[in-house]
Amino acid sequence: MKTGVILARFQPIHNGHLQLIKKACDENEQVLVIIGSIDKLSKRNPIPWTIRKQLVEKAINKECVLCNAGG
């Protein structure tokens, strides 16, 4: 099974991240999305990882619904 891996901070998630995830989904049987810098809360990483996780899940779910609706 071919697995794609996406590692990003998602500070916050944006369309570029979603395009990358979609491309990985198109090219792999499964995709692992990893949220980086979870132990660092700073000026460069202002959003806690728990909130980023929720935002990533919501964005991916919304994108999946849109993709499924069109195809």
Question: Residue 48's CB: how many other CB atoms inside 10 A?
Answer: 11
Reply yes or no on whether the pLDDT at 3 is more than 90. yes
Rounded CA separation 4/24 (Å):
6
pLDDT score at 65? 53
For residue range 18-44, list pLDDT tens digits in order: 999 999 988 998 999 999 998 889 998
Mean of pLDDT values over 5-16:
95
Query: How is residue 42 annotated by DSSP?
Result: S
Rounded CA separation 22/19 (Å):
5
Question: Residue 57's CB: how many other CB atoms inside 10 A?
Answer: 12
